[in-house]
Copies of this chain bind each other. A is one copy, B any other.
Amino acid sequence: MTNEVKKMRGRPRIFDMDEALDKALEIFWKRGYEGASIAELTETLGITKPSLYTAFGNKEELFKKALSRYAAGPVAFVSNIVNEPTARKVAESFLFKSAEFLTDASHPQGCMIVQGALSSGESTDIVKNILINYRDSYENLLAVRFQKAIVDGDLSSEDDSKVLAKYLATLHQGMSVQATSGATKKELINVAKLAMKIWPS
C-alpha cells in the first residue's frame, strides 16, 4: 500500500540515524555522560556538530536516545527474564546473563545504566536521576516477579521479594564495576554460582 520509503521534504540526511545512535551509544557506554565529549561524538559518528544538533537536539537528548536504544537493544533480555517459569530460574537467568553480558568483548564492559553517570558534576543531576530510575525500575521488575512467586507458592511467604530483588540488583551493579575493572566472564560466573546458593527454593 503506502510506500516504505517516506519522501521527506528538505535535503535528505546523509547519515543513518540508527547507525549514528549506535555509535553514540558506544561512546556514552564507554565514557559515561560527562566523559563523552561532543568532539569525540562527532568524530566517531563522522558528522559535524550542526548535523548532530539538528538530528538529536543536544547532548542530553542524544544521551537519552542512546539510552533508550541501549534498553531496547543490548539489555532487552532483562525485561524477558521475568517470564522464566520459576523465581529461581529468574534469578539464575539474571545473574548468569549479566555475567556474560557485562564481560562480552564485542562491546564496552560493564553496564551503561550503572556507570553512565555515577559521580559527576552538579550539571549532570538530571542524567544521574534518569539512570537511578532505570535501575530502580528493573529492580522493581524483579521484586514484582518474586512477589508473584510468593503468591504462586513458588517462594515462601517468609521470603522478602524486595530484599531478594535488591540482592540481585546489588550483585549486578557490583559485577558491572568488576567487569569494567577487568574481571573475566569466568570469575563473574563463579560469583553468580556462589550467589545463587542463598536461593530459598
Chain A residues proximal to chain B, CB less than 8 Å: 30-32, 34-37, 110, 114-116, 118-121, 124, 132, 135-136, 160, 163-164, 166-167, 169-178, 180-183, 187-188, 190-191, 194-195, 197-198
How far apart are A100's CB and chain B's nearest CB, in angstroms?
A: 15
Across-interface contacts of A110 in B (CB, < 8 A):
118-119
> 4 extra interchain contacts, Cβ-Cβ under 8 A, other than A37-B121, A132-B182, A194-B198?
A31-B119, A32-B118, A110-B118, A173-B177
* Distance, CA A101 to CA B156, complexed state (A): 32
Across-interface contacts of A120 in B (CB, < 8 A):
31-32, 34-35
Across-interface contacts of A36 in B (CB, < 8 A):
121
| Interchain residue pairs A-B with the least CB separation, the first 9 | A174-B174, A32-B119, A170-B174, A35-B120, A173-B177, A173-B174, A197-B198, A35-B121, A115-B119
- Do the beta carbons of B166 and A191 come within 8 Å of each other? yes
- Do the beta carbons of A166 and B190 come within 8 Å of each other? yes
- Do the beta carbons of A119 and B116 come within 8 Å of each other? yes
- Sample 10 A-B pairs with CB under 8 A, ordered by A number: A34-B34, A35-B121, A36-B121, A115-B119, A163-B191, A164-B194, A167-B191, A170-B171, A171-B174, A173-B177
